[in-house]
């Protein structure tokens, strides 16, 4: 492309992202078709393609064919080293619950890919098991995300009989996040499973939850299920997910094993190490070298 080496980072840039701008109507099909063509054009003309995991790699390879296999590099998300190395123990998790009640956290903006039904079913079922259960959302501008999705969550919350326990904190500076995370016994990843950007996502929040010692609960997302197998709960139904999460919290032995697995995964994905891999990829793209690499 004009003789300039191109490295294409696939993170989030799937055609489904058009739903951010238009959810229905006659123009949606055309808009998504255009987005798909642009996406494939970028893939076919990139010298290097960076994906988050194995599922994304397979998707890209199906699009391009086996001849471009060597151009694809897997590079997952990472977190600051101090996050990964200063995780929280089972004792601190249980002590936090005794002091503040059962707190569920959601890091990130409330956008079109968030499944508000899953969230409400999850918390409502938790409330039948522990009346102190609450949800705190950290992130999103100006008021925790898309006004439509925020309103949808509030309406579902109230109509379900949950009159309190919903705290929308809005934007929190990243350097203050570590002070908030240890207060959550459960960290949610409630993405709509029917979207490409959900199925091939590997949200940074997962590593942040794991490093903080939270139990991660997610809808069934292909990339994440491969990445965090044995370190998270995956369930398509919010009520069923709540039962599984509560059962885990009530079993110290199983919970301890779960937290150890999560902490180990977080420690293997620090920003510093990933930055070195990315720097090498960029240099090799400029120099015209090829060869598939996997960073897991």
Write out the DSSP string of 11-48: TT-SGGGGGGT--SSTHHHHHHHHHHHHHHHHHHH-SE
Alpha carbon distance 120, 131 (integer Å): 14
Mean local confidence (pLDDT), 116-127:
98
Confidence of residue 291 (pLDDT cuts 50, 70, 90): very low
Q: What is the pTM of this model?
A: 0.85
Residue 293 has pLDDT above 50, yes or no: no
Residue 199: other Cβ atoms inside 10 A: 22
Residue 19 has pLDDT above 60, yes or no: yes
Alpha carbon distance 150, 27 (integer Å): 25
User: Could you tell me the domains of the chain?
Assistant: 7-78+270-294 (no CATH), 81-267 (3.40.50.2000)
Alpha carbon distance 76, 267 (integer Å): 13
- Ranking 42-46, 199-203, 265-269, 282-286 by mean pLDDT, the lowest is 282-286
Q: Which residues pair with 110 in a beta bridge?
A: 145
Tokens at residue 241, please?
């997910």
Q: Which of 66, 172, 158, 56 is nearest to 109 (CA)?
A: 172
Backbone angles phi, psi at 190, to 5 degrees: -90, 65
Residue linked to tokens 């893939």: 43
Q: Which of 67, 72, 84 is nearest to 295 (CA)?
A: 72
- Ranking 73-77, 144-148, 263-267, 286-290 by mean pLDDT, the lowest is 286-290
User: Is residue 268 helix, strand or coil?
Assistant: coil
Evaluate whether 186 touches 105 at the Cβ level (below 8 Å): yes
Give the C-alpha distances (Å, rounded to integers) separating 21 from 31, 81, 112. Answer: 10, 36, 9
Mean local confidence (pLDDT), 219-245:
96
- Return the sign of the alpha-carbon dihedral for residues 227, 79, 165, 129: positive
User: CB-based burial of residue 181 (10 Å sphere; 0-12 exposed, 13-18 middle, 19+ buried)?
Assistant: buried
- Ranking 13-22, 47-56, 128-137, 154-163 by mean pLDDT, the lowest is 13-22
Residue 189 has pLDDT above 70, yes or no: yes
Residue 251 has pLDDT above 90, yes or no: yes
Evaluate whether 155 touches 122 at the Cβ level (below 8 Å): no
Residue linked to tokens 């987005």: 35
Confidence of residue 285 (pLDDT cuts 50, 70, 90): low
Residue 95: other Cβ atoms inside 10 A: 12
């Amino acid at each position: 492309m004009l003789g300039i080496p191109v490295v294409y980072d696939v993170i989030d840039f799937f055609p489904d992202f058009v739903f951010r701008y238009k959810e229905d109507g006659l123009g949606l099909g055309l808009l998504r078709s255009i987005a798909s063509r642009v996406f494939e054009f970028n893939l076919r003309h990139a010298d290097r393609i960076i994906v988050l995991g194995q599922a994304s790699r397979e998707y890209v390879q199906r699009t391009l064919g086996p001849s471009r296999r060597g151009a694809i590099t897997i590079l997952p998300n990472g977190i600051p080293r101090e996050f990964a190395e200063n995780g929280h123990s089972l004792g601190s998790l249980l002590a936090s619950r005794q002091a503040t009640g059962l707190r569920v956290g959601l890091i990130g903006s409330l956008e079109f890919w968030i499944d508000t039904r899953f969230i409400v079913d999850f918390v409502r079922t938790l409330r039948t098991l522990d009346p102190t259960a609450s949800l705190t959302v950290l992130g999103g501008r100006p008021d925790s995300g898309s006004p439509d999705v925020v309103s949808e969550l509030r309406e579902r919350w109230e109509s379900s009989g949950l009159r309190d326990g919903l705290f929308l904190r809005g934007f929190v500076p990243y350097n203050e996040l570590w002070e908030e995370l240890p207060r959550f016994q459960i960290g949610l990843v409630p993405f709509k499973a029917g979207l490409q950007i959900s199925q091939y996502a590997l949200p940074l929040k997962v590593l942040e939850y794991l490093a903080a010692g939270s139990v991660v609960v997610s809808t069934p997302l292909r990339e994440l299920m491969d990445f965090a197998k044995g370190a998270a709960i995956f369930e398509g139904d919010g009520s069923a997910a709540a039962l599984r999460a509560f059962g885990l919290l009530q079993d110290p032995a199983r919970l301890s094993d779960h937290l150890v697995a999560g902490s180990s995964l977080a420690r293997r994905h620090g920003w510093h190490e990933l930055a070195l891999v990315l720097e090498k990829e960029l240099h090799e793209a400029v120099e015209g070298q090829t060869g598939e690499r996997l960073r897991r």
